Amino acid sequence: MRDRIPTPSPPAPSRRRVLRGGIALGAAGAAALTASGCGSTLAQGFTGGAPSPSRLNFWNPFTGGDGERMLAMQDAYRAAHRSTELKSATFLWGNPYYTKLTLSTLGDRPPQVAVVHLSKLPTLAEAGLLTELRTDDLARHGLTEDKFDARPWRKSQFGGAPHAVPLDTHPFVLFFRTDIAEKAGLLDGQGQLVDVDGPDAFIDALRAAKEVTGAWGGSIASVKEASMQFRLFWSLYRQVGGGDLVADQGKRVVVDTAAAAEALAYIRRLSQEKVIPANTDGKGAITLLTTGKAGFLMDGVWQALAVRSAKVKFDMRPLPRIFKDAPYACAADSHALVLPKAPDEKAQRLDLSLGFIASMLHSSKLWAEGGHVPAWLPTQRSRAYKELVPQSHYATAADGAVYDPAAWYGGAGSTMQNVVGDAVTSVFTGETSPTAGAARLRRDLRTLASRPAPV
């Protein structure tokens, strides 16, 4: 925004010397980097050459608790594979991450292995950005179908062939403070949360918690977090029996506006009855729970570590079954490992990459401690996992897990999540009525659907 150039003024020779000095300093810095081993990277900057064959670049969108787990898993890999130079990079979740991944693949410089959400898999695969995996290659590294949770495994297929190796399922769940619940009389004799299913039961529970906290009953991210609002809506909409939002890979809008309005009306009730605040961002929502200003939190399982680190008494359970019109449902997604399509086999490093993926799966227990339900059955069925608390308390949520609607503009952190989430937020804050919100949602989806698909 500021490419303005001024006019020259009388000469000042000493400045020139300073500038020269600056350039020399820069050159010296570059030389120092070369000496310290970064030189090959700088040289590649000029030649565009590929990195050394022992190098494995790995990209992921994990920050916070997930990021810490992922670092531990990488350390485990490094300890076992000293000859491989593993370099990982973390990017901002959602569209920015997927745009980077797309552009790097188009630019022939993708990472060897990357994490993607399975909700994005069809779009990425159809765009030709992923390497198709062969079952015998996978089997060579012990990655066979029988070792994976069926749901994410099925979701990893595209055009009849695997294009990703699933790592987990991560549903949208309910966190609660056991101490607050107890004071609110919401725990039964065994210290379990009483039944909070049903539209009124849930709000009653929130209200009881509110009386204990003196501030709020529950919390959810509503500011700057369109995705979280999407998850809430998508879960309830499915529970009402709304079915899909779009069909034909996003070309047709099939949203059931009556069901959408019903789900939105309930979301509005949560803020209208003042049991949940309508102006909290992601961090704020967690802080309300951990500081005892809210008894419940609706969030993804991946926040388990963030809540745990506050050292408060808490537990987790699947999102309540608010509506009984359809089978139980809660929004969920899966992380999976993919091989972005490299310009040639040498750059792909298939076996190195698959070896790394296998190592990640063998660290599934570490990953599960961060809250995710592992897709790797040897871990999921292990005693150690079943003894994990509160992980075992919400494992059943995976059965009701519904992925995002399939569309080229859909998936984790996508335009669809933003558009739908924004409409939900405006109902949640009371700016729009539930019926108008449902109409807006349908209109916005139609606009998206009318666009010619780029893949």
Q: Which residues inside 416-445 make contact with other proteins, applying CB under 8 A?
A: 418, 422, 425-426
103 vs 258, beta carbon nearer other proteins: 103
Q: Which of residues 260-279 bind other proteins (CB under 8 A)?
A: 279
What gap in Å lies between CA 208 and CA 178, rounded to an integer?
13
> For residue 164, which of 196, 224, 209, 117 has the smallest C-alpha distance?
117
CA 256 to each of CA 373, 409, 423, 440: distance values in angstroms, whole numbers, following the listed order: 31, 19, 15, 13
Residue 91 sits in the site that holds other proteins (CB under 8 A): yes
What gap in Å lies between CA 425 and CA 270, rounded to an integer?
12
| CB-CB contact of 138 with 144 (8 Å) | yes
> For residue 361, which of 144, 98, 132 has the smallest C-alpha distance?
144
148 vs 408, beta carbon nearer other proteins: 408
Residue 96 sits in the site that holds other proteins (CB under 8 A): yes
Find the helix packing angle between 64-80 and 350-362, rounded to 10°.
120
Binding mask 202-241 for other proteins (x = CB under 8 A): ---------------------xx-x---------------
Q: Write down the least CB distance from residue 325 to other proteins, Å.
A: 29
In the structure encoding, which two tokens stand for residue 51, read together?
A: 């990195």
Q: Write down the least CB distance from residue 202 to other proteins, Å.
A: 26
Residue 382 sits in the site that holds other proteins (CB under 8 A): no
| CB-CB contact of 126 with 250 (8 Å) | no
Q: Write down the least CB distance from residue 67 to other proteins, Å.
A: 3
CA dihedral sign of residues 67, 384, 79, 132: negative
Residue 310 sits in the site that holds other proteins (CB under 8 A): no
In the structure encoding, which two tokens stand for residue 221, read together?
A: 């991210």
- The span of 66-74, 185-193, 240-248, 253-261 binding other proteins (CB under 8 A) equals 66-74
Determine which residue in the list 78, 80, 107, 142 makes contact with other proteins, applying CB under 8 A: 107
- The span of 7-15, 266-274, 326-334, 393-401 binding other proteins (CB under 8 A) equals 7-15
Q: Which of residues 9-38 bind other proteins (CB under 8 A)?
A: 9-13, 15-16, 18-19, 22-23, 26, 29-30, 33, 38
Residue 303 sits in the site that holds other proteins (CB under 8 A): no
Q: Write down the least CB distance from residue 166 to other proteins, Å.
A: 22
The reply to whether omega before 10 is within 30° of 0 (cis) is no
Q: Read out DSSP for 55-82?
A: EEEEEE---HHHHHHHHHHHHHHHHH-T
103 vs 161, beta carbon nearer other proteins: 103
Q: Which of residues 71-90 bind other proteins (CB under 8 A)?
A: 71, 87, 89-90
Residue 411 DSSP code: S
| CB-CB contact of 167 with 335 (8 Å) | yes
Residue 109 sits in the site that holds other proteins (CB under 8 A): yes
H runs (alpha helix) in 363-404: 364-369, 377-380, 383-386
Q: Which of residues 119-138 bind other proteins (CB under 8 A)?
A: 127-129
- The span of 45-53, 167-175, 314-322, 354-362 binding other proteins (CB under 8 A) equals 45-53
7 vs 190, beta carbon nearer other proteins: 7
